């Protein structure tokens, strides 16, 4: 785990430069009370962001014709974010770096979260809760122990011109937050 944490921090801070001016370099949190306040602020902002994203997911379920498909994709992203959030908290990755990683690797994360959502869509509520009680911890363990960020960054360099760019998944939730 220590080796993976070190690789995640190196990969997120060195391998992939961000496109916005806010994230132009690795940021160090101040120590002491300032660091604690920044940590609390990030957690509160993360809760607000995910709450607004959950409201988006809920609202898309009522959209005619394409609502179920949109709901499936958004729920997949939400479960993937929840699974990887444990790893990011353990590695102390800043929220802006998490969102940048998530929006840059949206296709992988949609696929990662989709098995959890399949249980919700195809089983009765009672059965889907039981399946989720088994699947979700396994996916959290998979996300926590994986080195998924290294292969994604190296493959993205190869696929740079194939059109899989950054997708602002959290744009509406971020704007509302």
In terms of Cα–Cα distance, which of 35, 14, 31 is closest to 23? 14
Q: What is the residue-averaged pLDDT of the chain?
A: 77
Give CA–CA dist 119/95, Å, rounded.
Answer: 29
Task: Report d(CA 113, CA 117) in Å as an integer.
Answer: 7
Backbone angles phi, psi at 92, to 5 degrees: 55, 45
Pairwise CA distance, residues 78 & 151, whole Å: 22
Low-confidence ranges of the chain (pLDDT < 50): 1, 4-5, 8-9, 11-26
- Sketch the domain layout of the chain as residue ranges: 30-176
Question: Which of 20, 39, 19 lies closest to 28 in space, CA to CA?
Answer: 39
> What is the pTM assigned to this prediction?
0.71
Instruction: Give the model's pLDDT for residue 27.
Output: 52
Sorted by sequence, the CB contacts under 8 Å of residue 33 that are 6+ apart come out as none
What is the pLDDT at residue 15? 45
Of 139, 138, 27, the C-alpha closest to 93 is 27
Q: 141: which residues sit within 8 A by CB, 6+ positions away?
A: none
* Number of residues that make up the chain: 177
């Amino acid at each position: 785990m220590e080796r993976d944490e070190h690789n995640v921090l190196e990969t997120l801070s060195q391998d992939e430069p961000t496109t916005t001016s806010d994230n132009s370099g690795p940021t160090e949190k101040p120590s002491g009370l300032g660091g604690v306040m920044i940590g609390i602020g990030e957690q509160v902002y993360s809760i607000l962001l995910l709450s607004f994203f959950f409201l988006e997911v809920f609202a898309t379920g009522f959209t005619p014709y394409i609502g179920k498909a949109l709901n499936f994709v958004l729920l997949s992203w939400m479960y993937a974010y929840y699974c990887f959030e444990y790893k990011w908290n353990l590695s102390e990755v800043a929220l802006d770096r998490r969102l940048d990683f998530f929006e840059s690797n949206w296709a992988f994360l949609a696929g990662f979260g989709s098995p959890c959502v399949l249980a919700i869509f195809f089983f009765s509520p009672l059965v889907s809760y039981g399946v989720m009680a088994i699947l979700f911890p396994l996916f959290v363990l998979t996300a926590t122990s994986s080195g998924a960020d290294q292969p994604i960054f190296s493959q993205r360099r190869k696929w740079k011109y194939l059109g899989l760019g950054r997708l602002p998944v959290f744009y509406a939730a971020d704007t509302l937050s």
